[in-house]
Amino acid sequence: MITAQEIQSVKQRFGIIGNSPLLNHAIQVAMQASPTDMTVLITGESGSGKESFSKIIHSLSLRKHGKFIAINCGAIPEGTIDSELFGHEKGSFTGAHEARKGYFEVTDGGSIFLDEIGEMPLGTQARLLRVLENGEFIKVGSSKVQKTNVRVITATNVNLIKAVEKGKFREDLYYRLNTVPIFVPPLRERGEDMVLLFRKFTGDFSEKYHVRPISLDPDAQQLLMRYAFPGNIRQLKNIAEQISLLEETREVSAQTLARYLPQENTKLPMAVGLSSSENSDFSERDILYKVLFDMKKDMNDLKKLVLESFQNGGLNPSLMQKHHGLFEGIDSELISQDNGEKSSSLPMPFVIDSKKPTSSLEEEYEDDVIEDIVHEEDDSSLSLERKEKEMILKALRKHNNKRKYAASDLGISERTLYRKIKQYEIE
């Protein structure tokens, strides 16, 4: 059983910063797989630090004294990748002036890390499968079978299952590579690790540029943790360097930090875990979309109602019954059940008679009314937080403040609901 102290020791040795449970789990799996010769497939987004895990696996394995080579399959042209990996004989193709050893021959007894394995051509995939199955390969332009004893560690930022379905990746190779899967979480799912990494990077850059280190106030830290970071650790490091170099004030506020964070990549929910975060993001988007569509529908119905009332010279009770959803909160006695009757208590709308000339004062009043309606529509369209708060309050009242059932009714996780309750200061 691997202890927390052993995981922390590995972090210090390889310069890994963070205490995220997902990160610790990935390190634990890497440590467990290291003493074996099993093939490892590391998955994760670009810039999330997959190469560091390949170094952990090699350094803690029995092959640690052997060679370790990292190859980016996406950076090698398709026409030369076979030669790079398996070598070639002299004269095997134009420009092959002498024989050359490939990486699988050079690293015999060691480990080879094949990054971006999803970019490997299908022909090369067949050659790699033979190496994994039998430890055999053939140089380009040769007929001689050679043996090699190499441990293969692979990584990808694409979904290989979908690549298999599209015919871009061999299914048999996928299952051969995926003996030990390791998922490296993206930065947005590592919570407070973002602040720790930012502090580390700004400390390094303060030494490099001979300036005082940057610090973030609490609001800036919250903003940093809400940012999606599509570029992951690489992007965070880049932002830390920009701020360290350009900002004169050493304590950065949320307003200052926001200038370095593209707003379209700021998340609504704060990521706290893999599946829960993905599900909560999706569910809250659904809620907001539903609110927007409902508001749009209500506005369209209201416009239709006002138009019909103008044409009929007043509000018809039958129209109010037809569009009763727009009149929530109005005394039901004001709405007559008799379609032929008009209640004298009903307020008459402002009616514009196209046949009757209006004075300048009346025209000014009409303009004010129209402007007020437009402003009211704009205000309603922008009050998403208020609508979200109202939905949460309704769900809590419906389930007698039982958060578990309210969260289920809203389609979000209980943790997300708790965060929203705290955000909106709901008693």
Over the stretch 165-217, which tens digit does the pLDDT of each residue have? 999 999 999 999 999 999 999 999 999 999 999 999 999 999 998 888 899 99
340 domain residue, yes or no:
no
pLDDT of residue 315: 54
Q: Specify the pairing of strand 111-115 against strand 68-72.
A: parallel
pLDDT of residue 164: 95
Q: Find the mean pLDDT for residues 22-29.
A: 95
pLDDT of residue 119: 94
Contacts of 133 (CB under 8 A, 6+ apart): 176
343 domain residue, yes or no:
no
| 303 in the same domain as 215 | no
| 259 in the same domain as 247 | yes
Contacts of 200 (CB under 8 A, 6+ apart): 17
Question: What confidence category does residue 1 fall into, taking pLDDT thresholds of 50, 70 and 90?
Answer: confident
Q: Which of 125, 157, 185 is the last residue of a domain?
A: 185
232 domain residue, yes or no:
yes
Helix (H) or strand (E) holding 280: helix 274-312
Question: What confidence category does residue 5 fall into, taking pLDDT thresholds of 50, 70 and 90?
Answer: very high
Chain centroid to CA 124: how far? Answer: 32
| 278 in the same domain as 138 | no
| 295 in the same domain as 418 | yes
Q: Is the pLDDT of residue 38 over 90?
A: yes
| 140 in the same domain as 58 | yes
pLDDT of residue 286: 60
pLDDT of residue 46: 92
Residue with more model confidence, 206 or 425: 206
pLDDT of residue 325: 56
Highest-confidence segment of 185-199, 274-288, 302-316:
185-199
Q: Is the pLDDT of residue 427 over 60?
A: yes
Q: What is the CATH number of the domain that holds 18?
A: 3.40.50.300
289 domain residue, yes or no:
yes
Q: What is the CATH number of the domain that holds 246?
A: 1.10.8.60
Taking only the tens place, the pLDDT of each residue in 370-420 is: 444 444 444 444 467 778 888 888 888 888 888 888 888 888 888 788 888
167 domain residue, yes or no:
yes
| 144 in the same domain as 208 | no
225 domain residue, yes or no:
yes
Sort 265 into a burial class: Cβ within 10 Å, 0-12 / 13-18 / 19+: middle
Q: Is the pLDDT of residue 275 over 70?
A: no
Highest-confidence segment of 28-42, 88-102, 279-293:
28-42
Taking only the tens place, the pLDDT of each residue in 223-256 is: 999 999 999 999 999 999 999 999 888 899 999 9
> In terms of residue numbers, what domain contains 99?
4-185
DSSP 213: P
Q: Specify the pairing of strand 68-72 against strand 136-138.
A: unpaired
| 364 in the same domain as 241 | no
Question: What confidence category does residue 2 fall into, taking pLDDT thresholds of 50, 70 and 90?
Answer: confident
Q: Which of 164, 185, 206 is the last residue of a domain?
A: 185
What does pLDDT average to over the chain?
80
Q: Is the pLDDT of residue 37 over 50?
A: yes
| 285 in the same domain as 151 | no
| 395 in the same domain as 300 | yes
DSSP assignment of 214-251 equals PEE-HHHHHHHHHB--TTHHHHHHHHHHHHHHH-SSSE
| 399 in the same domain as 289 | yes
Contacts of 284 (CB under 8 A, 6+ apart): 268, 269, 388, 412, 416
Total structural domains in the chain?
Answer: 3
Q: How far from 320 is each of 62, 306, 374, 376, CA to CA, in Å?
A: 80, 10, 22, 21
User: Does the reported pTM lie above 0.95?
Assistant: no
142 domain residue, yes or no:
yes
| 117 in the same domain as 56 | yes
326 domain residue, yes or no:
no
DSSP assignment of 353-419 equals -TTS---HHHHHHHHHHHHHHHHHHHHHHH-HHHHHHHHHHHHHHHTTT-HHHHHHHHTS-HHHHHH
Helix (H) or strand (E) holding 319: helix 317-322
Q: Is the pLDDT of residue 23 over 90?
A: yes
pLDDT of residue 288: 66
| 165 in the same domain as 20 | yes
Instruction: Average the pLDDT over each of 115-124, 294-303, 341-350, 388-397 and give the range with the smallest value.
Output: 341-350
pLDDT of residue 287: 65
Q: Which of 149, 165, 185 is the last residue of a domain?
A: 185
Q: Is the pLDDT of residue 15 over 70?
A: yes
Q: Specify the pairing of strand 215-216 against strand 111-115.
A: unpaired
Q: Give percent of the chain with pLDDT exceeding 90.
A: 52
